[in-house]
Amino acid sequence: MNASYGLVFDVDGVIADTESVNRRVSVQVFDDLFGVKGVKDEDFTEGLGRGAHEYVKAAARVHNLDLTPEQLEKAVQYRQDLFLEVLRTEPLPAYPGVLELIEAGLADERFQVAIATSGTLEKSRAALEAAQVPYTKMVYVNGNDVTHKKPDPELFLIAAQRMGLDPARCVVIEDAPNGVQAAKAAGTKCIGVTNTTPAKGLSQADLICDSLEPITLQTLEMLVDGRWPKAFRHMKKTRGEASR
């Protein structure tokens, strides 16, 4: 039986709390390489979900730092090295509900399950392994596979193609405005999870939730098939509780 639905996970900020690690090591990059102190978490906001280069450039703009291409590449590589070192020494558990939803999708022949992330192969694979995600059983698209990063839809279009599904039959789970924009531009349904961005920043998503715990395969089916009640846009952490 061919799959009828696609479930697509972003990694950073969706699978596990990698965004806090990203911010921490990025602040260190600016201090160690450029002597820039006082870099704050929010300085990276515009780069969320857009790949490492845009992530670094976002904070550089805030601090009026004009990086050369060589400095940018050095910063991106150093940031990845620091990130990988953190994952080697600190635990990175998956967010509640993530592994359960993945396992449910993998066990149901109606579903194809994919990872689609702007992160590099090395960086995203390290995060997936740390969070114990069975990514080898899933379609896996990463930043090395695309030319255009989010909010361009290329990443999610490739994921849908590799799953053998029309994008309209897929649901993307995202945590950042750029990711939600990319998912909608690709023609998919989108669930925005408020792990790193408040609900108002995810307003383009078809459904917003504070955790993936209340999300089931039935939720995904209803979204794709147009049966999800539009009045219920925000699912709370308590299973089954929703608000307008």
pLDDT in tens, 22-34: 999 999 999 999 9
- Each residue's pLDDT tens digit, 166-195: 999 999 999 999 999 999 999 999 999 999
Reduced to 3 states (helix: H, G, I; strand: E, B; else coil), residue 97 is coil
Question: Mean pLDDT, the chain, as a whole number?
Answer: 94
The pLDDT of residue 86: 95
Residue 178's CB is within 10 A of a number of other CB atoms, namely 22
- pLDDT at residue 241 is higher than 60: no
Compute the distance between CA of residue 174 and CA of residue 76 in angstroms, rounded to an integer.
23
In the sheet that 139-141 helps form, which strands lie side by side, from edge to edge? 139-141, 111-116, 5-9, 170-174, 189-193, 207-209, 234-235, 242-243
- pLDDT at residue 62 is higher than 60: yes
Beta strands, E only, 133-198: 139-141, 170-174, 189-193
Q: Which range has the worst mean pLDDT, 40-54, 137-151, 179-193?
A: 40-54
Number of residues that this document lists for the chain:
244
The pLDDT of residue 237: 66
The pLDDT of residue 216: 97
Compute the distance between CA of residue 244 and CA of residue 231 in angstroms, rounded to an integer.
6
Structure tokens at 105: 């999708």
Reduced to 3 states (helix: H, G, I; strand: E, B; else coil), residue 180 is helix
Structure tokens at 140: 């896996």
In the structure, what pLDDT confidence band is assigned to residue 243 with cuts at 50, 70 and 90? Answer: very low
- pLDDT at residue 239 is higher than 50: no
Structure tokens at 26: 């990025």
The pLDDT of residue 238: 52
The pLDDT of residue 50: 86
Mean pLDDT of 3-13: 96
Q: What are phi and psi of 73, to 5 degrees?
A: -60, -40
Pairing between β-strand 234-235 and β-strand 207-209 as defined by DSSP bridges: parallel
Compute the distance between CA of residue 149 and CA of residue 119 in angstroms, rounded to an integer.
10
Reduced to 3 states (helix: H, G, I; strand: E, B; else coil), residue 191 is strand
Whether residue 83 contacts residue 16, with contact meaning beta carbons closer than 8 Å, is answered with no
- Each residue's pLDDT tens digit, 115-133: 999 999 999 999 999 999 9
- Each residue's pLDDT tens digit, 75-130: 999 999 999 999 999 999 999 999 999 999 999 999 999 999 999 999 999 999 99
Whether residue 97 contacts residue 215, with contact meaning beta carbons closer than 8 Å, is answered with yes
- pLDDT at residue 240 is higher than 70: no
The pLDDT of residue 1: 54
Percentage of the chain beyond pLDDT 90 is 89
The pLDDT of residue 232: 87
Burial of 11-28, coded b for 16+ CB within 10 Å and e otherwise, reads: bbbbbbbbbebbbebbbe
